[in-house]
């Protein structure tokens, strides 16, 4: 078996930066995920990120990550055993063996957590994930688009309490998982939408682990990180300016709100409004949509290129807003239904970023 | 009469000292160069300020010191205590071990061993698992006699400190009453790694604080002073000396907070922006309700990420000694500075390095030096000044949290560099004695305490949680030396926890009051 890429401790900062960009403003801070993965790799050795074509058709792929409150994650760092318990729970229930772990969500901290778990299991991760970005809800994954059953799913805490759930669909899994994660202490590690490698080839955002690493590396090594990002992606620069207004409120467990960026330099005189629900959803200028979900909208610090999390947006920050295409699987009718603008309450249809002015 | 206070601020370049009376009038001030041993500069400043005409040293009752001793000790890895590092957090935190991000040399200098024992608290106050008392004893037993202190950090100590308190008892049973114990719930806020780092640093700095305290005492005695001593802390308030000996890490970074508080006092403003213009850099901060607004981002001390209560600052590498390079079409200001060398290397002192001070003289804003800047460089100097003014304006704008013009108080030796009109500024205030604003800030400081923890709404709902948080903050302020009857709540911040379907909120409450014995 030939691996696509070897993830050693030196690669992780680049991967973390890439995960942060792909988080589209959400997905949680990558810092603790980065440290946990670093410790796991220093202890157990590097992790291979392999293309799905190089794995056996009938092997099982285990999508995994954390669900729950980011505030809990900065206190409860995890036991590093979560991956083992998830895998054991799945294999008790299913015939077959897990041959690779997969980040359920490449965007934000969940892009990194499975790397550490894979190191301790001495398994590879897939060079693929279930979103190609970050999204707030369990069923907003590419596997749902492809019709993969979310059951059986396994939830575990860091003590080793773990249970297998047969939810009838992704929505129920979401409800059950949220309630259980509170009982577990505000957060749970989970796996859902387990599938065979053959299924995963059609049901995932592929190449995203290497993509995150490549864009992260380019940005960290460049003097002009946003230029470097533009060289790696079909990047649309929405506006360069400063944040002049931020409104934020927490409803139903989600951070909702908006930020206004006023143009500077060559964008002087322009105003861009970003609407937020944990992630950046829509960018509007004079009432005209300039970018929208599921395409990725990222807010980057103009000087350092560091992505600015929606929870950290603040008046006066010098930022450059950029957008780039989501994984093509989101552009299918079912993908747009799950994560297009109407799924977030907007009354307009999805138009790909490439076709917008 | 006994009614005078002496404030001292130790900075990277200068030690400033002031004497103020009961009506907060400034009676004397001095600026002395900082010495390598720090203490020498403090002695010199004390001596100079006490020799000012009309100062009766017998009237001095309080001495307030803001110093860089602790910062320097961490950066130079000097005089640090040996600390046993105990995290109460297995299995919920074992994915990242204690001190994981510390530079090796600092870890070797400080740590006598690290462990993660069973225990910890959930965000809602339940036990994650019971405290592993036997495991703690097994870890401590072989360390008896070899360490100076123990740093204890429990998961969600800010929700409940009970595992830390229980563990503290065991430490004293195993190692005796004399071993210093630092408890994370008394030092940091949410974020276990940053809080643990701060707690370990605190333990490591206990000897440094004791040394500064005794050096200050003997300096005061040799000057014939018999005054109560206080340390300035990083949020612009004071700690009584016994409190500082227990929480030395909180003395780190008191300088910016002191200058913002000093600016508030000298100008009389409660809500304003503050620019402290030094020789190498300028810090722009925000005064909210008379206190510096605090940063929400992680603060690094000697390469260690912590979650201290530091003022929110925008720092730019622009100051009086900043060197101008390039041509007048494309001039660059700083980050290099001639710093102490200004009086030899700047053009107006006969040197050959164009600096912002030269630009200010050429512009007619300042009248210092021994000669006029050469005509041939005037357009470069003018362009440099314009560039610096743009940087000030940008820094001022970045620190604001909302649109609208705000007053700007300018303090520090390089204040003339700030022009009379700055975009986004409603009024420019240049208070008298602005050059010693930081020592004034130390002299007039009040005592404060902060509570930062997660509350779940119980039977009393939100109101009960707010009551509990404010009560705790008041109690802590009084313990730190504030007058019980004059403690006020100066800040309440609530952050709901996302992604949870039970109502829980992270609450930060700060209480402050005047010194109990002034």
The A-side interface with B (CB below 8 A) comprises: 32, 35-36, 38-40, 67-72, 74-81, 116, 158-160, 178-179, 182, 185-186, 242, 244-245, 250, 253-255, 278, 311-312, 314-318
B505/B209: higher pLDDT? B209
Q: Which residues of chain A have pLDDT under 50?
A: 1
Name the band, by pLDDT with cuts 50, 70 and 90, for residue B501: low
The confidence score (pLDDT) of residue B40 equals: 85
Distance linking the first and last C-alpha atoms of chain A: 45
To the nearest whole number, what is the mean pLDDT of chain A? 94
To the nearest whole number, what is the mean pLDDT of chain B? 88
Is this structure's pTM higher than 0.90?
Answer: no
Nearest residue of chain B to residue A40 (CA atoms): B95
What percent of chain B is predicted at pLDDT more than 70? 96
R_g over Cα of chain B: 24
Cis check: omega of the bond before B91, within 30 degrees of 0: yes
pLDDT at B1 over 90: no
> What is the DSSP code string of A29-98?
-SHHHHHHHHHHHHHH--EEEE-GGGS-TTSEEEEEEEEE-HHHHTT----S-HHHHHHHHHHHHSSS-E
The answer to whether B165 and B186 are in contact (CB under 8 A) is no
Contacts of A312 in chain B (CB under 8 A): 296
Cis check: omega of the bond before A294, within 30 degrees of 0: yes
Interchain contact, B128 vs A76, CB within 8 Å: yes
Provide the shortest C-alpha distance from residue B490 to chain A (in Å).
Answer: 22
Greatest distance between any 2 Cα atoms in chain B: 78
The confidence score (pLDDT) of residue A161 equals: 95
Residue of B217, B228, B322 whose CA lies nearest to B279: B322
Read off the pLDDT of residues B308-351 as tens digits, 9 standing for 90 and up: 767 888 888 888 889 999 876 788 898 888 876 788 899 999 99
Q: Which of B126, B499, B508 to mutate to test the interface with A (most CBs of A within 10 A)?
A: B499
**Six-digit token pair at B50?**
């006490």
Q: Which helix (H) or strand (E) holds B140?
A: helix B133-140
The Cα–Cα gap between B256 and B285 comes to 8
The confidence score (pLDDT) of residue B368 equals: 86
Q: Where are the alpha helices (DSSP H) in B176-293?
A: 192-204, 206-222, 241-246, 254-267
pLDDT at B449 over 90: no
Bridge partners of residue A275, in order along the sequence: A258, A282
Interchain contact, A186 vs B100, CB within 8 Å: no
The confidence score (pLDDT) of residue A293 equals: 97
The answer to whether B173 and B200 are in contact (CB under 8 A) is no
The Cα–Cα gap between B359 and B140 comes to 62
A274/B444: higher pLDDT? A274
The confidence score (pLDDT) of residue B499 equals: 57
Nearest residue of chain A to residue B396 (CA atoms): A316
Nearest residue of chain A to residue B130 (CA atoms): A159
The Cα–Cα gap between A322 and A304 comes to 14
Number of CB pairs < 8 Å for A and B? Answer: 129
3-state DSSP assignment of residue A328: helix
Read off the pLDDT of residues A206-224 as tens digits, 9 standing for 90 and up: 999 999 999 999 999 998 9
Read off the pLDDT of residues B360-385 as tens digits, 9 standing for 90 and up: 999 988 888 888 888 888 999 999 99
Residue B407, Cβ density class (10 Å: 0-12 exposed, 13-18 middle, ≥19 buried)? middle
Interchain contact, A78 vs B502, CB within 8 Å: no
The answer to whether A44 and A83 are in contact (CB under 8 A) is no
> What is the DSSP code string of A173-230?
HHHHHHHHHHHTTSEEEEE-S-EEHHHHHHHSEETHHHHHHHHHHHHHH-SSHHHHHH
Provide the shortest C-alpha distance from residue A155 to chain B (in Å).
Answer: 15
The answer to whether B86 and B151 are in contact (CB under 8 A) is yes
Nearest residue of chain B to residue A251 (CA atoms): B498
Interchain contact, A70 vs B190, CB within 8 Å: no
The confidence score (pLDDT) of residue B369 equals: 87
Read off the pLDDT of residues A118-176 as tens digits, 9 standing for 90 and up: 999 999 999 999 999 999 888 999 999 999 999 999 999 999 999 999 999 999 999 99
The Cα–Cα gap between B208 and B187 comes to 17
**Six-digit token pair at B351?**
């040197």
Of the candidates A75, A278, A316, the beta carbon closest to that of B192 is on A75
Contacts of B94 in chain A (CB under 8 A): 77-81
pLDDT at B90 over 50: yes
């Amino acid at each position: 078996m030939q691996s696509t890429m070897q993830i050693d401790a030196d690669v992780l900062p680049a991967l973390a930066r890439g995960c942060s960009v792909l988080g589209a403003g959400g997905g949680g801070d990558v810092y603790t995920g980065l440290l946990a993965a670093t410790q796991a790799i220093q202890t157990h050795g590097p992790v291979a990120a392999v293309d799905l074509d190089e794995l056996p058709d009938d092997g099982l792929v285990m999508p995994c990550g954390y669900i729950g409150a980011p505030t809990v994650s900065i206190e409860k760092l995890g036991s590093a055993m979560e991956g083992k318990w998830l895998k054991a729970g799945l294999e008790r229930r299913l015939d077959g063996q897990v041959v690779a772990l997969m980040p359920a969500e490449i965007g934000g901290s969940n892009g990194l957590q499975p790397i550490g778990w894979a190191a301790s299991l001495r398994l590879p991760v897939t060079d693929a994930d279930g979103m190609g970005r970050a999204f707030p809800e369990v069923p907003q994954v590419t596997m749902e688009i492809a019709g993969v059953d979310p059951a059986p799913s396994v939830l575990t805490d860091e003590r080793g309490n773990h249970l297998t759930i047969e939810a009838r669909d992704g929505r129920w899994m979401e409800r059950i998982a949220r309630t259980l994660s509170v009982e577990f202490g505000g957060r749970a590690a989970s796996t859902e939408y387990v599938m065979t490698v053959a299924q995963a080839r059609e049901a995932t955002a592929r190449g995203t682990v290497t993509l995150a690493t490549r864009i992260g590396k380019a940005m960290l090594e460049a003097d002009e990180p946003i230029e470097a990002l533009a060289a790696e992606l079909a990047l649309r620069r929405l506006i360069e300016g400063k944040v002049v207004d931020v409104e934020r409120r927490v409803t139903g467990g989600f951070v909702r709100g908006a930020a206004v960026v006023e143009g500077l330099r060559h964008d002087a005189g322009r105003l861009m409004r970003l609407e937020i629900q944990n992630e950046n959803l829509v960018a509007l200028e004079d009432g005209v949509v300039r970018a929208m979900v599921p395409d990725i909208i990222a807010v980057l610090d103009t000087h350092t290129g560091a992505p600015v999390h929606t929870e950290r947006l603040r008046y006066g920050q010098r930022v450059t807003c950029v957008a780039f295409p989501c994984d093509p699987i989101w552009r299918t009718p079912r993908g747009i239904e799950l994560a297009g603008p109407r799924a977030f309450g907007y009354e307009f249809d999805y138009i790909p970023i490439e076709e917008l002015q | 009469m006994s009614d005078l206070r002496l404030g001292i601020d130790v900075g990277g370049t200068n030690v400033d000292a002031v004497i103020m009376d009961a009506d907060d009038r400034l009676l004397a001030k001095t600026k002395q160069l900082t010495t390598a041993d720090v203490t020498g500069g403090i002695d010199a400043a004390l001596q100079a300020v006490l020799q000012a005409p009309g100062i009766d040293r017998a009237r001095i009752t309080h001495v307030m010191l803001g110093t860089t001793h602790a910062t320097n000790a961490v950066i130079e890895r000097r005089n640090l205590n040996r600390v046993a590092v105990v995290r109460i957090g297995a299995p919920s935190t074992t994915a990242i071990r204690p001190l994981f991000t510390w530079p090796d040399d600092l870890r070797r200098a400080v740590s006598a061993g690290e462990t993660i024992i069973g225990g910890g608290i959930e965000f809602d106050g339940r036990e994650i698992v019971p405290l592993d008392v036997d495991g703690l004893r097994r870890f401590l037993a072989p360390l008896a006699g070899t360490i100076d202190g123990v740093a204890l950090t429990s998961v969600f100590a800010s929700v409940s400190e009970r595992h830390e308190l229980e563990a503290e008892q065991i430490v004293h049973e195993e190692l005796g009453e004399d071993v210093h114990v630092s408890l994370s719930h008394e030092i940091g806020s949410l974020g276990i790694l940053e809080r643990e780092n701060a707690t370990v640093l605190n333990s490591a700095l206990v000897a440094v604080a004791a040394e500064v305290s005794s050096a200050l005492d003997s300096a005061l005695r040799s000057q014939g002073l018999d005054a109560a001593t206080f340390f300035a802390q990083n949020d612009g308030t004071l700690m009584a000396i016994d409190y500082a000996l227990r929480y030395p890490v909180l003395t780190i970074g008191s300088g910016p907070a002191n200058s913002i508080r000093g600016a508030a006092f000298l100008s009389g403003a409660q809500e304003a922006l503050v620019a402290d213009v030094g020789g190498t850099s300028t810090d722009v901060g925000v005064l909210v309700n008379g206190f510096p607004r605090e940063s929400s981002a992680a603060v690094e001390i000697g390469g260690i990420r912590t979650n201290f209560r530091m003022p929110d600052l925008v720092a730019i590498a622009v100051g009086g000694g900043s060197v101008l390079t390039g041509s007048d079409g494309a001039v660059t200001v700083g980050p290099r500075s001639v710093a102490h060398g200004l009086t030899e290397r700047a053009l107006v002192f006969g040197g050959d390095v164009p600096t912002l001070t030269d630009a200010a003289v050429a512009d007619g804003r300042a009248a210092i030096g021994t000669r006029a800047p050469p005509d041939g460089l005037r357009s470069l100097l003018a362009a440099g000044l314009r560039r610096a003014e743009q940087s000030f304006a940008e820094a001022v704008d970045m620190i604001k949290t909302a649109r609208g013009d705000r007053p700007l108080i300018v303090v520090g030796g390089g204040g003339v560099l700030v022009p009379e009109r700055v975009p986004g500024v409603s009024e420019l205030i240049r208070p008298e004695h602005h050059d010693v604003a930081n020592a004034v800030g130390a002299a007039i400081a009040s005592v404060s305490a902060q509570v930062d923890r997660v509350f779940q709404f119980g039977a009393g709902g939100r109101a009960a949680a707010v009551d509990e948080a404010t009560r705790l903050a008041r109690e802590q302020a009084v313990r730190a030396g504030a007058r019980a009857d004059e403690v006020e709540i100066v800040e309440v911040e609530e952050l709901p926890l996302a992604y949870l379907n039970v109502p829980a909120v992270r609450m930060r409450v700060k209480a402050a009051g005047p010194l109990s014995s002034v």
